[in-house]
Amino acid sequence: MRMKRKLLRWQAAGFGVASLGGALLHFLYNLAKQSILVAPFSSVNESTWEHMKLLFFPMFFFALIQGRFFKEYRNFWCVKLAGIWTGLLLIPVLFYTYNGAIGKSPDWFNISIFFISAAVAFFLETRLFQKNCLHCKMPWLAFAGTCLIGVLFVLFTFSTPQRPLFQDPITGTYGVNS
């Protein structure tokens, strides 16, 4: 029972950190006068990719802290990778599904996509931790995979693929160098 409460508190805190952190990172680049120092971690435009970045970095940094207190979960990084992937994939899936079926989505809906994706990610993680059903033979590989996602977010901030996922729908530009 004590472990379950600990897990639920940590996961609720993680959702809070991801939600507040993502909201802050959405505005940080412009608040910092488009500083190149915050560009890798904050949203540099309104593209779907940049909104995925807003979920990744708070989840990743929270996981780095949480992992120090979750030594009893040998599958920690495999669960975190599954949660992060789920949240990241849900953002474009929900956004493009809605926009493809209904048309342009209102801002309140786009914002709710972020929070829904974060909530689903942390819910999935919680269930995987509770059920202990995700067997992790190489946690270091899951950690490396999670780090690789972060590297791609930083890399694509400065060297952005010219694909719709990366295009700012308002300005038509890509990444920080556009």
Instruction: For residue 45, give its domain range.
Output: 2-166
Q: Are 31 and 49 in contact (CB under 8 A)?
A: no
Q: Is residue 171 part of a domain?
A: no
Query: 0.85 exceeded by the pTM?
Result: yes
73: its two tokens: 């979960």
Q: What average pLDDT score do residues 142-170 get?
A: 95
Nearest residue to 83 (alpha-carbon basis) of 119, 135, 133: 119
User: How many domains does one find in the chain?
Assistant: 1
Predicted local distance difference test score (pLDDT) of residue 101: 79
Q: Is residue 79 part of a domain?
A: yes
Q: What average pLDDT score do residues 105-116 get?
A: 86
Q: What percent of the chain has pLDDT over 90?
A: 76
Q: Is residue 101 part of a domain?
A: yes
Q: List, for residues 7-28, the tens digit of each pLDDT value.
A: 999 999 999 999 999 999 999 9
Position of tokens 């972060």?
A: 150
Q: Is residue 177 part of a domain?
A: no
Does residue 156 surpass a pLDDT of 90? yes
Does residue 178 surpass a pLDDT of 60? no
Q: Is residue 175 part of a domain?
A: no
Q: Is residue 54 part of a domain?
A: yes
CA 56 – CA 53 distance, rounded (Å): 5
CA 150 to chain centre: 10
Q: What is the DSSP string of 80-135?
A: HHHHHHHHHHHHHHHHHHHHHHTSSPPHHHHHHHHHHHHHHHHHHHHHHHHHT---
Predicted local distance difference test score (pLDDT) of residue 8: 93
Does residue 109 surpass a pLDDT of 90? no
